[in-house]
Structure 1
Amino acid sequence: MKIALQTAFLLFAGALFFGGCSEAESKSPETAAHGPKVVKTAEVKALDYREEVFATGKLGDSEQMKLSFKTGGLIKRIYVREGQTVRKGKRLADLDLEEIKARSTQASIGVTASEITIKNAELALERAERELRNVEGLYRDSVATYEQLHDARLQYQNAKNQLESARMGLRASRQDQNVAGFNLRHSRIVAPANGTILKKLSEVNEMVGPGQPVFLFGSKDKAKVIRVQLTDRDIVFVRLGDEAIIEFDAFPDQTFSGLVTEIASMADPYTNTFEVEIEVQSESENLRSGFIGQVRILTSAHEYVMEIPIDALIAGDRKDAEVFVVENQTAQKRKVHVYKIKEDKLLIDEGLKPGEQVVILGGGYLENGDTVAIAGN
């Protein structure tokens, strides 16, 4: 009898336990047929969003130039090395002057010869003019014939032409002399400004042609710049004067400010990107050409958008998306237009208003028009 009572009690307790479990499950958000579904929401926030553009580039001097000799020849001396800092006017390299000096001497001799030719032409003109006067007098006295007078006039005109030719020859000789002197003066390379020898492109005893680069020179009179390449989707936001924040691997705990100073007007034909030049606002001597920097450009492009957590998204197709908005304790499915995804936030430019509540947890169990209760209220 005692065993039978115990068995009956256990059966009764089990029935109560399973009945309680069944009732609890019927009240869960997933399966409840009656009552509000509990959800978690977030408030829609208005945001004046400033577009940011990210890129990576190489640091360099804003004014870089290739230095060369005006005339060709054999390099005799190079006085600097790569990476060396130099002051304006310092001699950097010389050509072998033997041939250049010979050309200069030859030009000077040409000038002297032209001057002598002019003197001889002047004497010949003077003699021809005197002879013409004599013949004209004799012709008037009927002593000389007309043929003799005609010949004297031709000789006089020829002497004038010879003098003019000699003067033109002198002008040409002096031009040659100026060119030779110019080449002689430019048979050396000097630093055009305070700066750095970024690269040495030739060596001693090498033959170089006129204008062939010997040094790549970076001026220190101007600020350093970092050049980045931007796609067409990013370049449309960037304007001259936009601020930038720059980080270099060499200075992991330091940031540098910059300004956009140049924007390419056309894309590079090989990469289809646009080069943007950003002036680094720093006079630090530790910044060296060639440093790789990460750039964040704070563009002047602003957009008034709504910000919501990305968890509010229940469906999406490219820029078109759907979220649940709680209105009067009911879930209303709303179509929105996504402006941009920013980390764990969605930036919405159409479909939402500030202060509205969007469902961020429990939306997967909702249908349009469901009654909801906001968790925590």
Structure 2
Amino acid sequence: MKTFTLILAFFISLFSHICMAQSDQQAISDTLNDYIQGTSFNDQSRIKNAFQSDALLHLQKTDQANWVVKASDYIGWFKEENKGKFNGRIGEILDIDIAGNIATAKVEILVPAKSLRYTDLFLLKKLDKRWQIISKSASSDTSNRNGKRILFIASSAYFHGETQLPAGVSFSEIVIAYHTFKQAGYTVDFVSPDGGALPLAYINTSMPLHKQYLYDSDFMFAIGNSKTPQQINPADYVAVHYLGGTNAMYGVADNQQIQAISMAIYERHGGIISSVCHGTAGIVNLRTQDGQYLVSGKRISGYPEDYENQSKAYFAQFPFLIKQSVELHGGTFLYSPRNTPHVEVDGRIVTGQNYLSSQAVAEQIIQLLEK
């Protein structure tokens, strides 16, 4: 009994620490978002809420490499008469690292109209139970980033169905498309049904692009902290991209919130819906406002069940089949021989057969967006 009590106490303590860490990260995110939104919309009250009153900013200007500015002076740069007006700054949290009651954070600020990218580094401290910025330093460089956002949709499933057979998001399909979009100036966000860390599969550090992003802290923070559907505003995105990996068969196609996000981007905001490999599972149940299946009358590609190892245990767990579902819902499913790329573009729907198609799918999306 004593042993059981000790074990129970250990797990209660562990759970408490995990919850506290998650709570602190959210609180820090809230502080950083006060800074981001405050400086983007000239809201002095939100900026003031983010900074500790004695905070210092270490900036730079032409004749001064270390230009020290008081937080109170910095806040005054954002005129109260312009409150609520967007000034062209687009912010994104890139990293948060917590150590007890102190933390560091990195934020990216894009100013597309001026082809500028600022990198802000923050030191935060928990004071009177509130996380506040006590110091900021920043650098800037020219950038081709256009401020337009692509939403990558991934599954949260770690296993096939109710089994212990591991499943995950194809790392190749993430990094190839991510790299292509970033090189073209787009910002990529991740969303999953549960939010948080994405389960990953098929990582190969012998592949240069895998290695590049596996050790990229900003990228790893993004896939380790995917957004929940509730955090997504469809108006912020020009396209959605459903990622593959066999876990894409679970929890995405039937997620009504994700369905609503995708169709709002597609129908209300004129955006693009795309998928690759098993990611096509995510679009088979999407319906337009008139109740028709999105894939009806469309040319669609993805990973066909013909190429699955149908005798394996994982296949028996699939809740539906991609090619069969597309065809049942009125679409034409097209694909090429195994291990060759294949892309279909039908209006604002872009789909690819496998990870080898990821770059071409991303390039087709970019072409459509830049027409």
Same fold, TM-score > 0.5, yes or no: no
The normalised TM-score by structure 1 is 0.20
Higher relative contact order (CA 8 A, sep 6+): 1
The normalised TM-score by structure 2 is 0.20
Q: Which has the higher strand share?
A: 1
Larger radius of gyration: 1
Q: Which has the higher helix share?
A: 2
